[in-house]
Amino acid sequence: MCRSSVILFYGLWVKTWSLAFAAHAHEKIQPPLLALDLLIARRRSGKLVVEEQDLQTTARDLPEEVWELIKQETIDEAIHQEEEEAFELYRCPSCKFALGKNWETALDKDPFFGINGKKRKAEAWTDWRDPRCHECTTWIWRWHGDFAWQRRRAAVERMAALLAGFGLRVASKSTLCTNAEQSPRFDELSGLALPLQSSSESHNPAVDVNLRGDQHERHESAVLELSPTAIALPSNAELRFRRLISTYQLEPEDPTSSTITTNTLLPLDPSGATQSASESQDGAFRKDEPRWMLRVHAEADW
Ligand SMILES: [Zn+2]
């Protein structure tokens, strides 16, 4: 069986690990975040009640900016905790040893995994953006096969809950890795999108084609049409992405290979020729800038 799926979406791409950490943190800190939102709302409406105290400054006197800072600090700390827990799970015993962490527990799992006692602290894996340790790669592959950020139902639901708060959703169930050979997939990306819906399906509309590959079935096709309202952007479209990325420390990436444009609207130069393709790309998108994208995904299971 061969499956092919094409989606059109307005959005951007982020490292899947950053989305996973953010979503788990978001779920865990819902009670304090709700309490802070309630406090800010009551303060704003003048209904915040505080107990009498000797100190001159009370919670009611603190400006809203301070409460927003507390809220952001709560989120930052929760995400940091998620990163550390993931390091604890995926980091190899040699890196743990170099960092002075509890490496014996990890080694209990695999006593034949030799500790590299010469590994320096600076060589240990401490940044999700920089998977520098080959031993960690081996360790992860041996014990986990690969990361499974989006393969667990609970994780998918957590991501959906985080994104829904910003009026967004994942662009598709399938993730993307520009380095097809990479394993584990440190560079796996997830698409974030403005919600769209299909008249025939409730989830993200896609052009899906399945081909069994039988002797008499060599091609298949499907076509969807777009309502003009589907591509009309809400006025706060960019703001939704910007707030999500900055609040939850997501790591945007740009996996696009080329830009579809038109030359019919470009001015003619004095010689009468239109501008070259490279000139038309001066206004290239930033990786944290949402835009319309066409994504194709194909997989075969024979
Ligand atoms: Zn390591």
Higher pLDDT, 280 or 48: 48
Structural domain includes residue 281: no
Structural domain includes residue 280: no
Q: What is the separation of C-alpha 221 from the centre of its chain, rounded to a whole number of angstroms?
A: 31
Q: How many angstroms separate the alpha carbon of residue 120 from the centre of ligand 1?
A: 11
pLDDT in tens, 61-91: 788 889 899 999 999 999 999 999 999 999 9
pLDDT in tens, 246-286: 999 999 999 998 888 887 766 655 655 544 444 445 568 99
Each residue of 91-100: b (16+ CB within 10 Å) or e? Answer: bbbbbbbbbe
Structural domain includes residue 173: yes
Query: Given this model, what pLDDT does residue 205 score?
Result: 79
Q: How many angstroms separate the alpha carbon of residue 133 from the centre of ligand 1?
A: 5
State how far the alpha carbon of 129 is from the alpha carbons of 83, 90, 138, 188, 190, in Å: 11, 14, 18, 12, 15
Q: How many angstroms separate the alpha carbon of residue 94 from the centre of ligand 1?
A: 6
Q: How many angstroms separate the alpha carbon of residue 127 from the centre of ligand 1?
A: 11
> Could you tell me which of 5, 2, 19, 8 has the C-alpha nearest to residue 190?
19
Average pLDDT along the chain = 87
Print the SS3 string covering 212-280: CCCCCCCCCCCCCCCCHHHHCCCCCHHHHHHHHHHHCCCCEECCCCCCCCCCCCCCCCCCCCCCCHHHH
- What 3-state DSSP class applies to 128? coil
Structural domain includes residue 73: yes
pLDDT in tens, 177-222: 888 888 899 999 999 999 988 877 666 678 888 887 776 767 888 8
Composition of the chain by helix, strand, coil, percent to 5: 40, 15, 50
Structural domain includes residue 162: yes
State how far the alpha carbon of 63 is from the alpha carbons of 57, 67, 99, 160, in Å: 11, 7, 41, 32
pTM over 0.75: yes
Q: How many angstroms separate the alpha carbon of residue 107 from the centre of ligand 1?
A: 12
Distance CA 9, CA 168 (A): 11
Contact 188, 180 (CB under 8 A): no
Residues with Cβ–ion distance below 5 A, ligand 1 = 92, 95, 125, 133, 135-136
Domain that holds residue 185: 2-52+59-228+235-256+289-300
Query: Given this model, what pLDDT does residue 83 score?
Result: 96
Report how many domains make up the chain: 1
**Which distant-in-sequence residues (6+ apart) come within 8 Å of 131 by Cβ?**
125, 137, 186
Query: Given this model, what pLDDT does residue 135 score?
Result: 94
Structural domain includes residue 263: no
Structural domain includes residue 261: no
Query: Given this model, what pLDDT does residue 71 score?
Result: 94
Structural domain includes residue 284: no
pLDDT value at 118 more than 60? yes
Q: How many angstroms separate the alpha carbon of residue 100 from the centre of ligand 1?
A: 13
Query: Given this model, what pLDDT does residue 56 score?
Result: 64
In this structure, the chain runs to a length of 302
